[in-house]
Amino acid sequence: MSTKVALVTGASSGIGAASVRALIQDGWTTYATGRRAEGLNTFVAEGIPTLLLDVTDASSMAAAVAQIEATHGTVDLLVNNAGYGLNGPVEELSVADIRQQFETNVFGLVRMCQLVLPGMRRKGSGRIINVGSIGGTFTAPGAGAYHASKWAVESFTDALRFEVASFGIAVILIQPTGVY
Protein backbone atom coordinates (compact mmCIF):
# COMPACT_ATOMS: atom_id res chain seq x y z
CA MET A 1 0.00 0.00 0.00
CA SER A 2 1.38 3.42 -0.92
CA THR A 3 1.64 6.25 1.53
CA LYS A 4 -1.26 8.70 1.60
CA VAL A 5 0.05 12.28 1.59
CA ALA A 6 -1.84 15.30 2.92
CA LEU A 7 -1.06 19.01 2.89
CA VAL A 8 -2.87 21.22 5.43
CA THR A 9 -2.76 25.02 5.08
CA GLY A 10 -3.13 27.22 8.14
CA ALA A 11 -2.04 24.39 10.43
CA SER A 12 -0.61 26.49 13.26
CA SER A 13 -3.86 26.47 15.25
CA GLY A 14 -7.55 25.62 15.33
CA ILE A 15 -9.04 23.47 12.59
CA GLY A 16 -5.72 23.21 10.75
CA ALA A 17 -3.82 21.86 13.77
CA ALA A 18 -6.66 19.45 14.60
CA SER A 19 -6.72 18.26 10.98
CA VAL A 20 -2.99 17.50 11.04
CA ARG A 21 -3.34 15.46 14.22
CA ALA A 22 -6.39 13.53 12.95
CA LEU A 23 -4.74 12.72 9.63
CA ILE A 24 -1.54 11.50 11.29
CA GLN A 25 -3.58 9.34 13.64
CA ASP A 26 -5.29 7.88 10.57
CA GLY A 27 -1.94 6.95 9.01
CA TRP A 28 -1.44 9.82 6.56
CA THR A 29 1.95 11.42 5.91
CA THR A 30 0.86 14.95 6.69
CA TYR A 31 2.57 18.25 6.01
CA ALA A 32 1.60 21.00 8.44
CA THR A 33 2.01 24.39 6.80
CA GLY A 34 1.84 27.96 8.01
CA ARG A 35 3.08 31.46 7.33
CA ARG A 36 5.48 31.60 10.27
CA ALA A 37 7.95 28.96 11.48
CA GLU A 38 7.20 29.65 15.14
CA GLY A 39 3.58 28.62 14.61
CA LEU A 40 4.78 25.18 13.50
CA ASN A 41 7.31 24.55 16.31
CA THR A 42 5.11 22.01 18.10
CA PHE A 43 4.89 19.92 14.95
CA VAL A 44 8.63 20.19 14.35
CA ALA A 45 9.31 19.00 17.92
CA GLU A 46 7.07 15.98 17.28
CA GLY A 47 8.82 15.10 14.00
CA ILE A 48 5.82 16.05 11.87
CA PRO A 49 6.83 17.42 8.45
CA THR A 50 6.30 21.17 8.14
CA LEU A 51 6.62 23.68 5.34
CA LEU A 52 6.37 27.44 5.27
CA LEU A 53 3.41 28.34 3.09
CA ASP A 54 1.65 31.68 2.86
CA VAL A 55 -1.53 31.52 0.77
CA THR A 56 -0.97 35.14 -0.27
CA ASP A 57 2.49 34.36 -1.67
CA ALA A 58 2.42 32.51 -5.00
CA SER A 59 6.04 31.36 -4.79
CA SER A 60 5.64 29.83 -1.32
CA MET A 61 2.51 27.94 -2.44
CA ALA A 62 4.23 26.58 -5.56
CA ALA A 63 7.37 25.67 -3.63
CA ALA A 64 5.46 23.71 -0.99
CA VAL A 65 3.52 21.67 -3.53
CA ALA A 66 6.66 21.11 -5.63
CA GLN A 67 8.59 19.86 -2.59
CA ILE A 68 5.86 17.37 -1.65
CA GLU A 69 5.50 16.18 -5.24
CA ALA A 70 9.26 15.75 -5.59
CA THR A 71 9.25 13.51 -2.52
CA HIS A 72 5.94 11.66 -2.88
CA GLY A 73 4.76 12.16 -6.48
CA THR A 74 1.54 13.92 -5.59
CA VAL A 75 -0.57 15.44 -2.86
CA ASP A 76 -3.44 13.01 -2.21
CA LEU A 77 -5.38 15.34 0.09
CA LEU A 78 -5.36 19.11 0.30
CA VAL A 79 -7.02 20.67 3.34
CA ASN A 80 -7.48 24.33 2.40
CA ASN A 81 -7.86 25.75 5.87
CA ALA A 82 -5.88 29.02 5.94
CA GLY A 83 -8.09 32.04 6.49
CA TYR A 84 -9.23 34.72 8.87
CA GLY A 85 -12.19 36.98 9.57
CA LEU A 86 -12.15 40.70 8.81
CA ASN A 87 -14.71 42.54 10.89
CA GLY A 88 -16.10 46.03 10.62
CA PRO A 89 -18.80 47.95 8.80
CA VAL A 90 -18.33 47.78 5.03
CA GLU A 91 -18.38 51.57 4.86
CA GLU A 92 -15.38 51.79 7.18
CA LEU A 93 -13.22 48.96 5.80
CA SER A 94 -10.43 49.92 3.46
CA VAL A 95 -10.50 48.40 0.00
CA ALA A 96 -6.96 47.17 0.69
CA ASP A 97 -8.17 45.27 3.76
CA ILE A 98 -11.08 43.75 1.83
CA ARG A 99 -8.67 42.71 -0.94
CA GLN A 100 -6.42 41.07 1.65
CA GLN A 101 -9.44 39.18 3.01
CA PHE A 102 -10.14 37.80 -0.47
CA GLU A 103 -6.45 37.10 -1.18
CA THR A 104 -6.29 34.91 1.91
CA ASN A 105 -9.73 33.31 2.06
CA VAL A 106 -10.48 32.93 -1.65
CA PHE A 107 -7.61 33.43 -4.09
CA GLY A 108 -5.07 31.50 -2.00
CA LEU A 109 -7.54 28.62 -1.69
CA VAL A 110 -8.19 28.64 -5.44
CA ARG A 111 -4.48 28.72 -6.27
CA MET A 112 -3.74 25.83 -3.93
CA CYS A 113 -6.40 23.79 -5.75
CA GLN A 114 -4.84 24.69 -9.09
CA LEU A 115 -1.41 23.60 -7.88
CA VAL A 116 -2.41 20.14 -6.60
CA LEU A 117 -4.92 19.22 -9.31
CA PRO A 118 -2.47 18.26 -12.10
CA GLY A 119 -0.86 15.63 -9.85
CA MET A 120 -4.22 14.35 -8.70
CA ARG A 121 -5.42 14.06 -12.30
CA ARG A 122 -2.26 12.15 -13.27
CA LYS A 123 -2.87 9.74 -10.39
CA GLY A 124 -6.59 9.49 -11.11
CA SER A 125 -7.57 10.25 -7.54
CA GLY A 126 -7.42 12.88 -4.85
CA ARG A 127 -9.44 14.88 -2.40
CA ILE A 128 -9.67 18.57 -1.68
CA ILE A 129 -11.36 19.80 1.48
CA ASN A 130 -12.12 23.51 1.45
CA VAL A 131 -12.84 25.02 4.83
CA GLY A 132 -15.63 27.48 4.29
CA SER A 133 -17.88 28.68 7.06
CA ILE A 134 -21.47 28.63 8.10
CA GLY A 135 -20.91 32.34 7.45
CA GLY A 136 -20.96 31.50 3.75
CA THR A 137 -24.70 30.83 4.01
CA PHE A 138 -25.85 34.13 5.53
CA THR A 139 -24.64 37.68 6.07
CA ALA A 140 -24.39 39.61 9.32
CA PRO A 141 -23.73 43.31 9.85
CA GLY A 142 -20.13 44.04 10.69
CA ALA A 143 -18.74 41.03 8.85
CA GLY A 144 -19.68 41.66 5.22
CA ALA A 145 -16.17 41.16 3.82
CA TYR A 146 -15.73 37.88 5.66
CA HIS A 147 -19.16 36.58 4.65
CA ALA A 148 -18.59 37.60 1.03
CA SER A 149 -15.28 35.71 0.97
CA LYS A 150 -16.88 32.57 2.39
CA TRP A 151 -19.78 32.80 -0.12
CA ALA A 152 -17.10 32.87 -2.83
CA VAL A 153 -15.44 29.76 -1.34
CA GLU A 154 -18.81 27.98 -1.51
CA SER A 155 -19.29 28.88 -5.17
CA PHE A 156 -15.76 27.94 -6.24
CA THR A 157 -16.03 24.66 -4.34
CA ASP A 158 -19.34 23.74 -5.97
CA ALA A 159 -18.02 24.49 -9.47
CA LEU A 160 -14.73 22.66 -8.89
CA ARG A 161 -16.53 19.60 -7.52
CA PHE A 162 -18.32 19.15 -10.87
CA GLU A 163 -15.26 20.03 -12.96
CA VAL A 164 -12.95 17.39 -11.49
CA ALA A 165 -15.27 14.53 -10.45
CA SER A 166 -14.66 12.64 -13.71
CA PHE A 167 -10.93 12.55 -12.85
CA GLY A 168 -11.57 10.67 -9.59
CA ILE A 169 -11.10 13.79 -7.48
CA ALA A 170 -13.53 14.61 -4.68
CA VAL A 171 -14.03 18.22 -3.59
CA ILE A 172 -15.65 18.77 -0.22
CA LEU A 173 -16.79 21.90 1.57
CA ILE A 174 -17.04 22.02 5.33
CA GLN A 175 -18.92 24.84 7.04
CA PRO A 176 -17.80 25.16 10.65
CA THR A 177 -19.33 27.62 13.07
CA GLY A 178 -17.23 29.81 15.36
CA VAL A 179 -13.74 28.51 16.18
CA TYR A 180 -11.80 29.79 19.16
Rounded Cα distance between 122 and 91, Å, is 46
Rounded to two decimals, the pTM is 0.94
Residue 123 has pLDDT above 50, yes or no: yes
By the 8 A CB rule, do 27 and 76 touch? no
Is residue 84 among the annotated active site residues?
Answer: no
* Band of residue 139 on the pLDDT scale cut at 50, 70, 90: confident
Phi first, then psi: what are they for 46, rounded to 5°?
Answer: -90, 0
Neighbouring residues of 90: CB distance < 8 A, sequence distance ≥ 6 = 144, 145
Strand partners, 50: 32
What order of strands is seen across the sheet that includes strand 29-34? 50-52, 29-34, 5-8, 77-80, 126-131, 169-174
What is the residue-averaged pLDDT of the chain? 95
Rounded mean pLDDT, 36-42: 94
* Band of residue 148 on the pLDDT scale cut at 50, 70, 90: very high
Cα–Cα separations (whole angstroms), residue 163 to 72, 87, 114, 136: 25, 33, 12, 21
Could you count the other beta carbons within 10 Å of the beta carbon of residue 94? 10
Phi first, then psi: what are they for 78, rounded to 5°?
Answer: -110, 125
By the 8 A CB rule, do 123 and 75 touch? no
Q: Which of 31, 84, 146, 180 is catalytic?
A: 146
